[in-house]
A and B are shown apart, each in its own frame.
Chain A
Amino acid sequence: MSTRLAKGGRLIDRTTKLEFSFNGKRLTGHPGDTLASALLANDQMLVGRSFKYHRPRGIVAAGPEEPNALVNLGTGARHEPNQRVTTTELFDGLEATSQNHWPSLEFDVGAINNKLSRFLPAGFYYKTFLFPRAFWKHVFEPIIRKSAGLGKAPKDRDADRYEQAYAFCDLLIAGGGLAGLQAALIAGQAGLRVIVMEQAAHWGGRAPVDGVLVDGVPAGDWVEATLSALAKMENVTLRARCMVAGVYDHGYVLADERVADHTPGDGRPKHRLWRIRAGRILAATGAIERPLAFAGNDVPGVMLAASARDFVVNFGISPGDRTVVVTNNDDAYLTAIALKQAGLDVAAIVDARDNPTGPGVDKARALGLRVASGKAVAKVKGGKRVVGVALCAQAGEGTATEELPCEAVAMSGGWSPVVHLWSHCGGKLLWDESLSCFRPDAARPPLNHDGSAMVLALGAANGHFLAGDVLADASQVAAEAVKLAGKAPGHGAKVATNPLEGATMAPVWVMPQGAPVKLRSKMWLDYQNDVKVSDVQLAAREGYVSVEHTKRYTTLGMATDQGKLSNINGLAILADSLNIAIPEVGTTTFRPPYAPVTLGALAGESRGTIFQPVRQTPMHGWHEGQGAYLEPVGLWRRPFCYPRSGENHEQAVHREILNTRDNVGLLDASTLGKILVKGPDAGRFLDMLYTNVMSSLPVGKCRYGLMCNEQGFLSDDGVVVRLAEDTWLCHTTSGGADRIHGWMEDWLQCEWWDWQVYTANVTEEYAQIAVAGPKARMLLERLGGMDVSAESFPFMTMKEGTLAGLPVRAYRISFSGELSYELAVPAGHGLALWEALVREGAALGVMPYGTEAMHIMRAEKGFIMIGDESDGTVIPQDLNLDWAISKKKADYLGKRGQERNHLVNPDRWKLVGLETLDGSVIPDGAYAAAEGVNANGQRNVEGRVTSTYYSPTLKRGIAMGLVKGGMARLGESVTFPKVGGGQVVARIVDPVFYDKEGAKQNV
């Protein structure tokens, strides 16, 4: 059993006890514990079930590479699934539950999959669930969904807050171990702005655990002294619990700081996402130990050797009274020695190498430990915990020669540098034969904007695993980085020594070498996704030669640990099966983030009401006060309608329309885009921008205009007003203002840069109100100050003056078909004008109307709406707008595009009005069916609906649509099938449904 040792544990405070629970069981630990060490202290070796076979699983690692020990953490609004116990710091009251089992962790029905594993090989899902097709949706998918998935998704709104911080530095150092801290000293003394980030809560990495001496003092002491020296430097920032998640173009870095994970509810943000622009990045990210592939290497109690050492040295944990160490390298000897020195029994050091020699071996033998060389583990015995191992010859086929009872197995298959940050932006790797690992190829780094290396790797991340080499490499790389920044390097520690200087390793990918399939199908590679040696070999046999395909077929490395532990083992197995060298197989692509980052941190403060900026018109508060139902229009919020008590939205819209048609209505049109175009060449410029002529527009007059892109497709529309000899005001759609302004500047700056024109987007400078309806003139007269008579203020003209004592620019234009004025005032006067109109209009029955009433009224008049009648594939000619296209102009944007043969084809779908025979409303987006079927067996179509409404004015359904043949088919009928059966028949009519002769606005 695993337990707490009577003494030891350099990170824990034994004087204080913390209470926590696991699956409802009340347990205790100490400050400084991780949840992993606290669970092991309580003999909780079984912590979860694997994803596919529901195998019992225990803690394998001590860091973020842990694949097995994922738990649901917290409850209610603080519930988080898939939290790794090895990176979760213990706090008082912590509640954790295990995942992926039913009904309980100890007894899991899904474990039947384990018995059936022979029938669930790699690619099982792809092979089995193809046919019959209908089974997928109704049988396979529901079952798979029920049994798949790790933790439970939180149901409640996250109780915590998250924040984001921005930082800039010359040098970002990822990793606060021996290499990172040495580099920080050298760069910090040089005067560079340095940020050092360490993912763990403690600094120093492995060095203090492994008995490293730095300049003659224990590594732990050197780390303390170095930290206090760095803390005194104003140009150096230190952040612990901060994981550098990703490196992006030109030195952009994301890092996730776990600010209050271990102190929930203390008011601080749970995480802080750092968004850093770094001149250069030093990857001092260390290395991760690899498991060995032997049968039963996933039984709880089998652990990575260095992690077992971490638990003993850092937390005073005994992984078991008696441990078998299995290795192909010297490093694991440190674990055997640490266990022995803690008073625990080491049954044997099983070394796959034939005649291992070196300081580790000597020291182990001197302590009286048995070294079984040339041996392998044939099989681990035990189900929910290890009870023993059977040994065999590494060179053989797995015949057990000896059985050793034990409670834990510490394995080491060598080390893999953490090259993620090097690789995120394309840094290349090379295969190091002597270390059997991929390490950064310094000749092919990821590049910065200036072509220099953006990331430099150092220490273990650069393939230097022994402390002396780590320190020397860190000094050299840091000095290089400082020189690249144009400064003189400072000084760090001079020398580091490791008890294992001269250590070696031998590649061992399968144990024993000639293991039969029975053993290979129990050798786990990817613990979380249940991928075994036999699965990768099967994939190779079935023709998967690309590592990227094999990954997806077998799911190797696709779990939440992203193959940190044993991707290299998998690649080696694949290479061996394909009979090619490992570097020829290559690696899968490393992509950010290095370890999972919670969505809360990525969202930061951008949630709820501040998810995105909201644009408000000057009258916004009034609308809200009236209980308006708001709809988003770009970033604007516009009143959709103003429901009165007892009214639903549809009833409100209909009332607003009828009142506007009978009395007078007010629309807040402030969101309409307003762009000033001014200068000697402004007229010439607008003639290029619009399809019709704007240079000939007299001062004080208004003209409707269309803008197209260079392909000829309709892009935006609006009324243009000539304010002065050299000044035009262009109205755009509400959503189009910024885009059109950018479009204007594009042509002025990049094509016609010698034309003298200024543009200004003045959209928010003015509030604009449409006053529409038969009583609109009466209302304006009641405001007083301006002659608004038909004679002095005719249709499509502009007038400046005062109304209700406010400076007003009035346009007599109409989008509703009624007598209508649009009144623009400086934004600060918007609310005053609106309130004056409401006050003075009360006697005339004035009512505000929203965007939906506006839409329906324009449809009743056959006016097009950008985004309804146009969709980026429609030219103005399709909409019968030839009258707004100049025939005389030699050129305008889109003219050449519209001459293309496809766009002059007479068979194009063109705008028509549609009137249903039964008065019903055609469903939005419906297609008109034609005879026959196309090549895919789908029904042919001959048109589609673009706008469809119930018209309260006409008391029937009306629609506009694009139909083959267009208005030439006036009077014909077309058929619109409805979703779910049935159809609507509509007659092609004039799209102007209401007041064709324009009598209502011409008064």
Chain B
Amino acid sequence: MLTLECPYCGVTAEETELAPGYEAHLKRFGPGSTDEQFNDYMFARKNPKGVHFERWRHAYGCGKWFLAARCTATLEVFGTYPAQVGAPPEDIIAKIKARRPEWVME
């Protein structure tokens, strides 16, 4: 059972206190997008063994959605950060690089 720190209220919350929201930093494709774009947005979600960016909601706490960078293989958590960003912030990238020097952002 994972623990993640909510970047809004500062609580280190247990997984039972959180709700998962799958891949982070998705770009929404609505009307006017091609079938391929929509398909990728809707279904072609990343599922890497390794560094991954995810959405989580502090559902039974402050109610805020936040993002988490973690390793799906070892369950290490590199950091959590507010959801109102288009890409992982620099400090999170740095934390990942510190522990996974070979990792490159897709």
Contacts and interface: CB of A to CB of B under 8 A. Distances in A.
A449 B75 contact: yes
Contact of B55 (A248, A449, A710, A750): A750
A249 B75 contact: yes
A871 B21 CA distance: 21
Nearest to A448: B76
A451 B84 contact: no
Contacts of A447: 74-76
Given A277-B14, A749-B83, A753-B84, A250 B75 contact: yes
Contacts of B15: 249
A835 interface: no
Contact of B84 (A450, A749, A896, A899): A749
B19 interface: yes
Nearest to A251: B3
A940 B75 CA distance: 47
A897 B38 contact: yes
Nearest to A711: B42
A891 B2 contact: no
Contacts of B65: 745-746, 749-750
A753 B82 CA distance: 11
Contacts of A745: 57, 63, 65
Contacts of B42: 710-711, 897
Interface string A891-920: 100011101100000000000000000000
A749 B55 CA distance: 11
Given A277-B14, A447-B75, A711-B42, A249 B31 contact: no
A449 B13 CA distance: 13
A750 B76 CA distance: 24
Nearest to B77: A449
Nearest to B100: A451
B49 interface: no
A742 interface: yes
A254 to B, nearest CB: 10
B33 A896 contact: yes
Most B CB contacts (10 A, CB to CB) among A251, A425, A448 go to: A448
B64 A450 contact: no
Contact of B83 (A248, A750, A896): A750
Contacts of A891: 30-31
Interface string A436-464: 00000000000111110000000000000
A252 B75 contact: no
Interface in B39-76: 42, 55, 57, 59, 63-65, 74-76
B103 interface: no
Contact of B1 (A252, A751, A899): A252
Given A252-B1, A447-B74, A895-B31, A742 B19 contact: yes
Nearest to B73: A426
A747 to B, nearest CB: 9
Interface string A775-790: 0000000000000000
B3 A277 contact: yes
B21 A746 contact: yes
Nearest to A901: B35
A451 B33 contact: no
A979 interface: no
Contacts of A134: none
Contacts of A277: 3, 14
Contacts of B1: 248-250, 252
Given A249-B1, A710-B42, A749-B84, A896 B75 contact: no
Contact of A451 (B2, B63, B74): B74
Contacts of B30: 891, 895-896
Contacts of B84: 749-750, 753
Contacts of A751: 28
A711 B43 CA distance: 10
Contacts of A450: 76-77
Main secondary structure of the interface of B (DSSP, over half): loop
Contacts of A250: 1-3, 75
Contacts of B19: 742
B21 A749 contact: no
Nearest to B39: A900
Interface in A228-269: 248-252
A715 to B, nearest CB: 15
B31 A890 contact: yes
Most B CB contacts (10 A, CB to CB) among A749, A750, A899 go to: A750
A746 B63 CA distance: 10
Given A249-B2, A896-B33, A899-B31, A449 B76 contact: yes
A277 B2 CA distance: 10
Nearest to B33: A896
Interface in B62-106: 63-65, 74-77, 83-84, 99
Most B CB contacts (10 A, CB to CB) among A710, A753, A896 go to: A896
A303 B21 CA distance: 54
A415 B65 CA distance: 50
Nearest to B70: A449
A449 B21 contact: no
A873 to B, nearest CB: 15
B28 A451 contact: no
Contacts of B33: 896
B83 A753 contact: yes
Most A CB contacts (10 A, CB to CB) among B30, B33, B76 go to: B30
Interface in A768-820: none
B83 A900 contact: no
A441 to B, nearest CB: 15
A604 to B, nearest CB: 14
A896 B76 contact: no
A751 B99 CA distance: 30
Nearest to B64: A749
Nearest to B55: A750
Nearest to A252: B1
A275 to B, nearest CB: 9
A252 B17 CA distance: 14
Contacts of A252: 1, 14
A753 B84 CA distance: 7
A751 B24 CA distance: 11
A451 B95 CA distance: 12
Contacts of B14: 252, 277
Nearest to A889: B31
Interface string A412-429: 000000000000011000
B57 A746 contact: yes
A249 B3 CA distance: 8
Nearest to A753: B84
A989 B14 CA distance: 53
A896 B42 CA distance: 11
A449 B59 contact: no
Contacts of A248: 1
Contacts of A895: 30-31
Contacts of A900: 35, 38
B70 to A, nearest CB: 8
Contacts of A710: 28, 42
Contacts of B2: 249-250, 449
27 contacts: A249-B1, A249-B15, A250-B1, A251-B3, A447-B75, A448-B76, A449-B2, A449-B75, A450-B76, A451-B74, A710-B28, A710-B42, A742-B19, A745-B57, A745-B65, A746-B57, A749-B64, A750-B21, A751-B28, A753-B83, A753-B84, A891-B31, A895-B30, A896-B32, A896-B33, A897-B42, A900-B35
Given A248-B1, A250-B2, A277-B14, 13 more contacts: A250-B3, A426-B74, A447-B74, A449-B75, A710-B42, A742-B57, A742-B59, A749-B65, A751-B28, A753-B84, A891-B31, A895-B31, A900-B35
Interface of A: 248-252, 277, 425-426, 447-451, 710-711, 742, 745-746, 749-751, 753, 890-891, 895-897, 899-900
Interface of B: 1-3, 14-15, 19, 21, 28-33, 35, 38, 42, 55, 57, 59, 63-65, 74-77, 83-84, 99
Closest CB pairs A-B (n = 3): A753-B84, A451-B76, A749-B65
